[in-house]
Chains A and B, each alone.
Chain A
Amino acid sequence: DQQVKQNSPSLSVQEGRISILNCDYTNSMFDYFLWYKKYPAEGPTFLISISSIKDKNEDGRFTVFLNKSAKHLSLHIVPSQPGDSAVYFCAASAPGNPNFGNEKLTFGTGTRLTIIP
Chain B
Amino acid sequence: LAKTTQPISMDSYEGQEVNITCSHNNIATNDYITWYQQFPSQGPRFIIQGYKTKVKNEVASLFIPADRKSSTLSLPRVSLSDTAVYYCLEGNNRLAFGKGNQVVVIP
Real complex partners, A and B? no
List chain A positions with a Cβ less than 8 A from chain B: none
